[in-house]
Structure 1
């Protein structure tokens, strides 16, 4: 029975991601973000449970990536699509009249927002690579998809809850969003070693980077709220690069 516990948690991740997709389509970014956070929590929990119960399996690995493909692949791509749509003043209203959506002659799909879906493609490529790479046990190559998802999800949350005109203008600048999309696609698959938050023991000496990072994350979240998320992702990359240099 215990071997099914991690897979059940993975399926909860997939369920949360699927619900988040529905909310993104309905332009409810707050509810979508809530289910993304829940999905990422279950994603962490399934790996933790598999290690503690010693029931890691090839099925669990594949299922985990399939769930991540939705929660941490499709959802951020759709959110970026929606944000880019706002920069060109396209209508995001959902037409519930089925018959009105069957005429392809009236179908208008703007090209620029589709660039956001490149995040979904880059996430799929990263997840496939991760499944084949046997080296990424204590570290990651490139930014993990959940971290990238948190970065993208933070944008509408910053606009909603911190409502700063200057920051909002930056977020809704199409060139900023295009640049962030391209950077996101690159960093997901970059050959850069980033430390993983996996503790083999509790000693500070062997986990100094992890402990310092967690403490800084807590401080930043208290001070900056949702605006802390992009800063935390940047901090994560910088600390990993510094760690790589010092280890050499």
Structure 2
């Protein structure tokens, strides 16, 4: 019984990440941009802890890896893109940035799940791309060029050292 509970603990942190991402989206839909942005930062806290807890308890699982990626695409892909879209002036560039940001995030996560790296990430991790958008959203600022640059950095071949 204790072993089953121990194996579930990291996934509870992942679910906290996902819950904050969903709450960010609903806060955005209700017009509370600052709250939506803060919830993405809280998601990052949960995302940081889930993997560390799993490793410290020695309960890493493929299920946990996949669940983490699904939570990350919501919390750091879709939610920040929606904040950006809600604040940006309508244009083709804005639409392109809004569409490409979560798509590139999903591609980056899929690439990592298929071919994990040790000691570094290939491309900008999706939390590192989503948090700047959340920060801009907190200050009610949006910029399509920054959003596009972050999107393309996620699928770039650059190496980013793991924390």
TM-score (norm 1): 0.60
Query: Which consecutive unaligned segments of at least 5 residues does structure 2 have?
Result: none
Residue of structure 1 equivalent to 2:159: 193
Residue of structure 2 equivalent to 1:149: 130
Pick the aligned partner of 1:64 from 59, 65, 68: 68
Q: What's the CA shift for 1:181? A: 2.4
Is 1:17 aligned to 2:21, yes or no? yes
- Secondary structure of 2:139's partner? helix
Is 1:36 aligned to 2:18, yes or no? no
Q: Work out whether residues 77 and 118 of structure 1, in 8 Å CA contact, stay in contact via their aligned partners in 2.
A: no
Q: What's the CA shift for 1:27? A: 2.3
| CA–CA separation in structure 2 for the residues paired with 1:117 and 1:26 | 21
Q: Work out whether residues 78 and 117 of structure 1, in 8 Å CA contact, stay in contact via their aligned partners in 2.
A: no
Structure 1 runs (4+) greater than 4 angstroms displaced? none
Residue of structure 2 equivalent to 1:180: 146
Q: Work out whether residues 80 and 117 of structure 1, in 8 Å CA contact, stay in contact via their aligned partners in 2.
A: no
Q: Which has the larger radius of gyration?
A: 1
Higher relative contact order (CA 8 A, sep 6+): 2
Q: What's the CA shift for 1:55? A: 0.4
Residue of structure 2 equivalent to 1:81: 85
| Matching of residues 1-248 of structure 1 within 5 Å | 1-84=5-88, 87-88=89-90, 113-115=94-96, 116-134=98-116, 136-159=117-140, 171=141, 177-197=143-163
What RMSD, in angstroms, separates the aligned Cα atoms of the two structures? 1.6
Query: Which consecutive unaligned segments of at least 5 residues does structure 1 have?
Result: 89-109, 160-170, 198-248
Q: How far does the alpha carbon of each residue in 1:32-68 deviate from its partner, in whole angstroms, 9 at most, with x for none?
A: 1221111111111110100100000000000000000
Q: Work out whether residues 129 and 151 of structure 2, in 8 Å CA contact, stay in contact via their aligned partners in 1.
A: no
| CA–CA separation in structure 2 for the residues paired with 1:15 and 1:137 | 28
- How many pairs align? 158
